[in-house]
Structures are given as structure tokens and as C-alpha cells.
């Protein structure tokens, strides 16, 4: 082979390798595609078919539904939108105590729509806690309901495509600082450890609702606003080999560590809700919500310090302002107004906007630690 031919061959090989690397990077970024939670607690919201069209026109490729709303499921057919399909807490007891009920639920809400609706996860219950007075009586039903739904899906040989899990909130974390010492509360371990064991067996992720807003608003003395909004110019928390410049990563890695520290095994985490209200409470404003959401959308294309190799699948809360929620701030998490107008100027593929606010625009101090 001539030297010219050899150089041409090497150049072609390098070009192919670079193309492969770029494709791999693009696939990796696609893993971090943002979803949006479609809540319906409003008396002025558009019909489901218009909402699904709004998702498509804004390139929102993932959705979370909190219950199997039939109009929404019909409208989702052939939309190519991936779905977290929720089982309401009110159904847990029925599905846990009667496997036939679970099979009928799966037939009615999963099989009747699959595969024209791309159901990715079934979330069995939301924020059930054995130590929360409002949901504590339901805790005994979560794992049996998860298992019955899983078995009904497995009987159709769909368990590799549709993963069954449950969604928890951060109140189940007992220690979160530093993140590497994250652990679940001692009084929820008997509830949560068997669920984690099931998730490991089923190769399913744990769904977690992660809200830096509530951590910041509950402790503004120790948690700075820039740290919560992804605008801190410097590392805030140094945790051994891990360094944290934002609260979201620290909270999420405390969950990763809590799972690891059970010793049960490696279970992935999907952020099933995260958002910032635009009014109604301490630390709420249009600008704070805009900055948090815009930065979150771009940030989750990468991983966390503890899981740097994997984009963070994240669902923004919520699609609309919902006027039937309470307290007041719960009405103001929407990315869109009920008239379908966008509240914020950014897109949902991580486009950068020109007016990102720097941390120096806030009169806040960087804490030495964060009690998250």
C-alpha cells in the first residue's frame, strides 16, 4: 500500500471513529431527554388531545400521567411520547389484595393501548410513606401492588419493555449531608428495603421526586439561592472525591448513596418530578422559576458527581398551573398557562437562552455546608 493510500485509509478510519463517537455522544444526550408531568387538577385546562399536541409542538418527548386518564391515553396513541403511567394511591389496596384486579387494571390501561402508546414505566403509588400520617396506612399495599402489576405485565412478556416501580419523595432520606453519607430513615427501611430488592430483581429504577426549592425555602440560612438555582460560580460542598456546585446533584447523589448504603445492590434513579413555583411562597418568583428550570433542562444531559457516566432522566413538574391545588404555591408550578401559552422562553431540548442570570446577581452568601 502506498504511503498516500495508507494515509487516506488512516484518515478514513479516524473519520469513522469520530463519527461513531459523535453518534454515541448524541445517544447519550438523548438519554437525558426531559419529560413533563401532566397534572389535571384545574378546572380551566385544555382537553387532552390539545395537551398532547402541545407536547409534540414543543418537542417534549416524555410525559408522566398520575392516573390512567382514558382521554389522555387515547390522545397519546402514535404520538411517540414515552410515558410514566401512574397508579393512583387510592387504587393500591385493591391491586395489592387481589391479583385479578391487577390483571384487569393492566388489561384496561396498558394492554388496550400498547404498543401505540409507548408506556415506559408504571408508577404504582406516589409519595407513599409509612411515617406520613396521610399515607402511612397505604404503605403496606405498595410492594404487593407493584408485584401484582409486574406479574400481570410479565405474563404478557412485556416486563423488559415496561418497568414497574413506585415514586418516593425526599422525606424518606434520613441523612443527606454529606451526599456520600446519604441514608434512608431507620423507620422506613422495613418498607423501602424490600421495594429496592424487587427493583433490583426486575431491573427497574426507583422513581424519586427531587425539589431543591423545598430544601432551600425550608433552610435559606444554610442553603444559598445560587446553589439551589445552578448559578453558584464555585464548588459549595466538597465530599471526598466528589464536588458539588448545585443542590440538585447533592440531593440526587444522597439518594444514590442511600441505595448503595443499603447493601442490596445497584438500582438506577429516575427523577420523576422536579420544579420551582413562580409565586405563592418564600423564594418564589418568575425569574427564580425560569432560571431553575432552564438550568435543570441543560444540566441533566450530564450525570451527577457520583454517577457521571449517565444522563439523568428527569420529569419537570408540571405542564400547567393547576388552580385546584393547595396550598397557594402548588398552583404555580406550570410551564404553561391553561391557555397553552408558554410561561418561560426556553425550549425543552436544552437550548441556551441569552439572559441566564449569574450568581452574582443574587445577594446571597455561599454556605459552608448544606443541610439538604
Q: H-helix or E-strand containing 330?
A: none
Q: Is residue 273 annotated as a catalytic residue, yes or no?
A: yes
β-pairing verdict for 237-239 and 242-244 = antiparallel
How far apart, in whole angstroms, are the C-alpha atoms of residue 261 and residue 45?
43
pLDDT at position 349, please? 64
Q: 10 Å Cβ neighbour count for 302?
A: 16
Q: Is residue 268 annotated as a catalytic residue, yes or no?
A: no
pLDDT, tens digit, 9 for 90 and up, residues 283-319: 999 999 999 999 999 999 999 999 999 999 999 999 9
Residues of the chain with pLDDT under 70: 1-32, 349-372
Greatest CA separation found in the chain? 79
Q: Which of 50, 74, 82, 273 is catalytic?
A: 273
Q: Tell me if 297 sits within 8 A of 350, measured CB to CB.
A: yes
Query: Structural domains in the chain?
Result: 33-336 (3.20.20.80)
pLDDT at position 130, please? 96
Lookup: cell for 123: 408508577
Q: Which of 127, 313, 322, 330 is catalytic?
A: 127
Q: What is the pTM of this model?
A: 0.86
> Is residue 118 classed as helix, strand or coil in its secondary structure?
strand
pLDDT at position 16, please? 44
pLDDT, tens digit, 9 for 90 and up, residues 78-101: 999 999 999 999 999 999 999 999
How far apart, in whole angstroms, are the C-alpha atoms of residue 215 and residue 251?
9
Amino acid at each position: 500500500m502506498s504511503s498516500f493510500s495508507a494515509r487516506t485509509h488512516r484518515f478514513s478510519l479516524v473519520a469513522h471513529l469520530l463519527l461513531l463517537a459523535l453518534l454515541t455522544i448524541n445517544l447519550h444526550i438523548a438519554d437525558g431527554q426531559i419529560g413533563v408531568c401532566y397534572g389535571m387538577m384545574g378546572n380551566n385546562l385544555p382537553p387532552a388531545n390539545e395537551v398532547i399536541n402541545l407536547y409534540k409542538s414543543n418537542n417534549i418527548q416524555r410525559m408522566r400521567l398520575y392516573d390512567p386518564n382514558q382521554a389522555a391515553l387515547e390522545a397519546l396513541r402514535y404520538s411517540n411520547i414515552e410515558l410514566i403511567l401512574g397508579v393512583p394511591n387510592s387504587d393500591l389496596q385493591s391491586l395489592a389484595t387481589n391479583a385479578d384486579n391487577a390483571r384487569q387494571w393492566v388489561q384496561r390501561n396498558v394492554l388496550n393501548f400498547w404498543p401505540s402508546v409507548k408506556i415506559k414505566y408504571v408508577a404504582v403509588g406516589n409519595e407513599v410513606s409509612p411515617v406520613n400520617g396521610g399515607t402511612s396506612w397505604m404503605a403496606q399495599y405498595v410492594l404487593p401492588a407493584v408485584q401484582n402489576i409486574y406479574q400481570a405485565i410479565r405474563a404478557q412478556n412485556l416486563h423488559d419493555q415496561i418497568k414497574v416501580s413506585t415514586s418516593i419523595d425526599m422525606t424518606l432520606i434520613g441523612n443527606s449531608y454529606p451526599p456520600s453519607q446519604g441514608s434512608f430513615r431507620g423507620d422506613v427501611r422495613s418498607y423501602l428495603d424490600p421495594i429496592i430488592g424487587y427493583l433490583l430483581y426486575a431491573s427497574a429504577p426507583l422513581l424519586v421526586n427531587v425539589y431543591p426549592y423545598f430544601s432551600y425555602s425550608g433552610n435559606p440560612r444554610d442553603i444559598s439561592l445560587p446553589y439551589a438555582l445552578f448559578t453558584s460560580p464555585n464548588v459549595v460542598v466538597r465530599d471526598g472525591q466528589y464536588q458539588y456546585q448545585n443542590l440538585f446533584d447533592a440531593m440526587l447523589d444522597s439518594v444514590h448513596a442511600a441505595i448503595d448504603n443499603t447493601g442490596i445492590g445497584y438500582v438506577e434513579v429516575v427523577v420523576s418530578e422536579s420544579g420551582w413555583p413562580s409565586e405563592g411562597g418564600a423564594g418564589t418568583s418568575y425569574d427564580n422559576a425560569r432560571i431553575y428550570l432552564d438550568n435543570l433542562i441543560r444540566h441533566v444531559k450530564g450525570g451527577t458527581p457520583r454517577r457521571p457516566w449517565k444522563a439523568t432522566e428527569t420529569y419537570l413538574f408540571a405542564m400547567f398551573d393547576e388552580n385546584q391545588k393547595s396550598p397557594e404555591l402548588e398552583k404555580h408550578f406550570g410551564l404553561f398557562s391553561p391557555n397553552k401559552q408558554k410561561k418561560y422562553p426556553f425550549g425543552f431540548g436544552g437550548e441556551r437562552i441569552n439572559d441566564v442570570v449569574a450568581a452574582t446577581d443574587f445577594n446571597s452568601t455561599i454556605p459552608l455546608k448544606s443541610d439538604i
